[in-house]
């Protein structure tokens, strides 16, 4: 099993983004996933198969504003996942993506403090745009990753699971 979960964000428009910043974000958010998979797939093939779960984002299909590079790379992760699923199904390797929405992480907690708010005050507004009217938790995302990585999802490959409280369906 391989779980690719890395990412960096840059807050720029396409006009402001430099070639160097594009190279940096592509290296982490896309190429890092591809090269980890490149190393893992031969071992999975030798072992009779396996599972890869790539962590993308709802930003793969919903623009965040002022994050053109992040949004682009997360869309690339979903495309990478589908392409690898097709290429390596014959090897018994399943590949899926998880696309979290508003998740209250330590990053968000630090942003709340920096904005002069308590975590509870921040959470009251963060995630309000979802059907469930709240942010998700890292444990809720991890449970979905665990399910996709397990044999319980043996007939699931090439899919993107949105863990977003229904955000993208509104």
Predicted local confidence at residue 124, as pLDDT: 87
Confidence of residue 110 (pLDDT cuts 50, 70, 90): very high
Handedness of CA 119, 120, 125, 128 (dihedral sign): positive
* Catalytic residue flag (residue 33): no
CATH number at residue 41: 3.40.50.720
Instruction: Judge whether 13 lies within some domain.
Output: yes
Instruction: Judge whether 129 lies within some domain.
Output: no
If one counts every other C-beta atom within 10 angstroms of the C-beta of residue 36, the result is: 16
Domain that holds residue 55: 2-101+136-169
Instruction: Judge whether 46 lies within some domain.
Output: yes
133 Ramachandran zone, left/alpha/beta (phi>0; psi -120 to 50)? left
Predicted local confidence at residue 31, as pLDDT: 98
**In angstroms, how far apart are the furthest CA atoms of the chain?**
53
Predicted local confidence at residue 70, as pLDDT: 98
Instruction: Judge whether 145 lies within some domain.
Output: yes
Instruction: Judge whether 153 lies within some domain.
Output: yes
Predicted local confidence at residue 69, as pLDDT: 98
The whole-angstrom separation of Cα 71 and Cα 67 is 6
pTM over 0.85: yes
What's the whole-number mean pLDDT along residues 51-58? 98
Whole-number percent of the chain with pLDDT over 90: 96
Predicted local confidence at residue 24, as pLDDT: 98
Candidates 11, 33, 70, 155; catalytic one: 70
What's the whole-number mean pLDDT along residues 104-125? 92
Instruction: Judge whether 23 lies within some domain.
Output: yes
Task: Look at 62-71, 78-87, 107-116, 150-159 and tell me which has the smallest mean pLDDT.
Answer: 107-116
88 burial via Cβ count (<10 Å: 0-12, 13-18, 19+): buried
What's the whole-number mean pLDDT along residues 127-141? 96
What's the whole-number mean pLDDT along residues 19-31? 98
Instruction: Judge whether 32 lies within some domain.
Output: yes
CA atoms within 13 A on the CB side of 126: 20
Whole-number percent of the chain with pLDDT over 70: 100
Backbone angles phi, psi at 157, to 5 degrees: -155, 150
Whether 15 shows a pLDDT value over 90: the answer reads: yes
78 vs 106, 113, 115, 147, CA distance in Å? Answer: 25, 32, 32, 18
Q: How many domains does the chain have?
A: 1
**Strand runs (DSSP E) across 79-165, as ranges?**
93-100, 160-163
Say if CB 162 and CB 141 are below 8 A apart.
Answer: no
If one counts every other C-beta atom within 10 angstroms of the C-beta of residue 32, the result is: 15
Whether 154 shows a pLDDT value over 90: the answer reads: yes
Instruction: Judge whether 42 lies within some domain.
Output: yes
């Amino acid at each position: 099993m391989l779980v690719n979960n890395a990412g960096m964000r840059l807050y720029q428009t396409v006009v402001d983004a430099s070639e160097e910043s594009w190279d940096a974000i592509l290296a982490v958010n896309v190429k890092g996933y591809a090269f980890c998979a490149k190393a893992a797939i031969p071992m999975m093939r030798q072992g009779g198969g396996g599972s890869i779960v790539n962590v993308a984002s709802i930003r793969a299909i919903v623009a965040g504003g002022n994050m053109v590079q992040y949004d682009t790379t997360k869309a690339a992760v979903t495309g990478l996942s589908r392409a690898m699923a097709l290429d390596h199904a014959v090897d018994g390797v399943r590949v899926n993506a998880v696309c979290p929405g508003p998740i209250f992480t330590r990053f968000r907690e630090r942003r709340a403090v920096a904005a002069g708010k308590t975590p509870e005050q921040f959470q009251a507004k963060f995630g309000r745009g979802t059907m469930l009217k709240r942010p998700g938790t890292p444990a809720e995302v991890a449970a979905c990753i665990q399910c996709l990585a397990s044999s319980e999802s043996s007939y699931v490959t090439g899919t993107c699971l949105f863990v977003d409280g229904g955000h993208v369906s509104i």
